[in-house]
């Protein structure tokens, strides 16, 4: 959530949230080690990821406390990105749900048909883009209002316009321009 031009209140909120969640994850890691033991903790590779992220966060907190505002160490900002991998912890839940295993199995067996359907859709978009370039290409070149952004003068514009029409993002304005 860090970005250029961030307000001071948002930056303070993010720093406080970072420390708060880091302490929650530290407690979780040590409670888990205390509950199942270090051997079983290290046997699961997801725990390796969690442990690495927690240890990196502890290092960041200590280093920031000693050196000040990240101490000019830009590598800490890069290591913060590793925290997003905690989302993969949800995959643990998928192991225990039988119905989810069936759904994932069906999806993994049928992904190639999705690829073929997507390729077929793109083929239709290219065909209709070329057709509209033939029918409407150069149609608005003498228009006193100028060339509209949804035109068919070039292939890239035609492709984008047809994609907009098919996804119904902007189909009303495209139809308006085509009917002018």
What is the pLDDT tens value at each position of the chain, 180 positions in all?
Answer: 667 778 889 888 988 888 888 899 899 899 999 999 999 999 988 788 888 888 888 887 887 778 766 555 556 666 666 666 666 666 666 667 778 778 878 888 888 888 888 899 899 989 999 998 898 887 777 777 777 777 788 888 888 888 877 776 555 655 655 555
| Residue entry with tokens 């961030």 | 6
Ramachandran area for residue 168 (φ above 0: left; ψ -120 to 50: alpha; else beta): left
- Statement: the pTM of the whole predicted model exceeds 0.75: no
Domains of the chain by residue range? 8-96, 111-178
For residue 162, what are the contacts with CB-CB under 8 A and spacing of at least 6?
Answer: 125, 128, 129, 132
């Amino acid at each position: 959530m860090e970005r250029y031009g961030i307000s001071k209140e948002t930056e303070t909120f993010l720093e406080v949230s970072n420390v708060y969640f880091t302490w929650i994850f530290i407690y979780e890691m040590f409670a888990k080690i205390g509950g199942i033991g270090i051997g079983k903790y290290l046997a699961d590779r997801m725990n390796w990821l969690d442990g690495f992220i927690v240890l990196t966060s502890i290092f960041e907190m200590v280093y920031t406390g000693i050196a000040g505002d990240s101490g000019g160490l830009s590598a800490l900002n890069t290591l913060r990105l590793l925290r997003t991998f905690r989302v993969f912890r949800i995959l643990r839940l998928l192991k225990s749900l039988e119905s989810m295993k069936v759904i994932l199995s069906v999806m993994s067996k049928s992904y190639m048909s999705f690829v073929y359907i997507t390729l077929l859709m793109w083929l239709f978009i290219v065909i209709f883009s070329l057709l509209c370039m033939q029918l409407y290409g150069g149609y608005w070149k003498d228009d006193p209002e100028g060339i509209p952004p949804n035109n068919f003068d070039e292939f890239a514009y035609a492709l984008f316009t047809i994609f907009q029409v098919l996804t119904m993002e902007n189909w009303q304005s495209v139809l308006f321009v085509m009917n002018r």
